Amino acid sequence: MRIDAHQHFWNFDPVRDSWIDDSMKVIQRDFSPEDLLPELRSKRIDGCIAVQADQSPQETQYLLGLSHQHPYIKKVVGWVDLSAPDIESQLERYQAEKNLAGFRKILQALPPSAMEEEAFLQGISLLSKYHFTYDILIFPKHLPAALEFVKKFPNQAFIIDHLAKPAIKSGEFEHWSKGIKELSEIPNLYCKVSGMVTEADWKKWKKEDFIPYLDHITDCFGTERLVYGSDWPVCLVAASYAQVFDLAWEYFQPFSEDEKAAIFGDNACEFYGINA
């Protein structure tokens, strides 16, 4: 089964979605499952994982509702206030929702010290009990803190979104590569091959720009812990759906059929609990 393990849906709200500024006008509109389906079909992708873009319980319910209406939305990565005093009772209730794979917090907007807050750590400590995954959305400056964070939870299924957003446009590599290497030594941590084009020069990127970063994550994580995702529709500020898919697909062409099947579907199914 081929899976796009990272994409979003939203009904655009200029206040709520203020992060979509005028430099991103192309995505200042609604994006629905009907918009995505032709893109999936064009690349023979069987299903996708809808990831939260707004930090609210309403967003989680919205995505879950879509997943019930559209069977190709295989799982949802939602949002919950992991620091809430009643977090365990919330997780217990959410456990009944079979399409909910796990959660994400927009850590990239916070200082690295946010990963040290006691209430947040308490919430993370409960996720594995209820079989929920956790997506880590950070920038390279967060990598040292992220390493200490994931070390605390050896039984938690973690995945790094968007390669931890390396500064591809400027070509910065050393700091990011060191941090990623250290993180990759944590066996319960996966990495998404996603979000690259938006970290490159939106207008002038070329596929060679991404090769050092792809080489490094492949060396670090191996093909058994890499997961492909498009980051649609955010990717549209820099590339079409097809261009994003083709960047990854062409890079991994020399790999074996089993390795490609792992990166483009099997690993996502294993990590997020997707049944064929």
Q: What's the pLDDT tens digit per position in 218-261?
A: 999 999 999 999 999 999 999 999 999 999 999 999 999 999 99
pLDDT digits (tens, 9 = 90+) for 90-136: 999 999 999 999 999 999 999 999 999 999 999 999 999 999 999 99
- Cβ-proximal residues to 256 (8 Å cutoff; 6+ apart), any chain: none
Return the exposure string of 84-104: e unless at least 16 CB atoms fall within 10 Å of the residue's CB, then b: eeebeebbeebeeeebbbbbb
CB 138 within 8 A of CB 165: yes
Instruction: Classify strands 47-51 and 73-78 as parallel, antiparallel or unpaired.
Output: parallel
Tell me the pTM: 0.96
Map out the domains of the chain with their CATH numbers.
3-272 (3.20.20.140)
Peptide bond into 154 cis (omega under 30): no
Is the Cα torsion angle 67, 68, 70, 74 positive or negative in sign? Answer: positive
- Cβ-proximal residues to 184 (8 Å cutoff; 6+ apart), any chain: 191, 217, 220, 221, 225
Q: What is the pLDDT of residue 220?
A: 98
pLDDT digits (tens, 9 = 90+) for 39-86: 999 999 999 999 999 999 999 999 999 999 999 999 999 999 999 999
Q: What is the pLDDT of residue 38?
A: 98
- In 3D space, the residue among 55, 63, 52, 50 whose CA is nearest the CA of residue 6 turns out to be 50
Least confident range from 7-21, 109-123, 149-163: namely 7-21
Residue with tokens 């990623």: 180
At 228 the three-state DSSP class reads: strand
- In 3D space, the residue among 245, 248, 268 whose CA is nearest the CA of residue 36 turns out to be 245
Return the exposure string of 169-187: e unless at least 16 CB atoms fall within 10 Å of the residue's CB, then b: eeeeeeebbebbeebbebe
When pLDDT is cut at 50, 70 and 90, the band that residue 276 belongs to is: low
At 45 the three-state DSSP class reads: coil
Alpha helices (H) along 70-207: 87-94, 118-127, 143-151, 174-184
Q: What is the pLDDT of residue 15?
A: 87
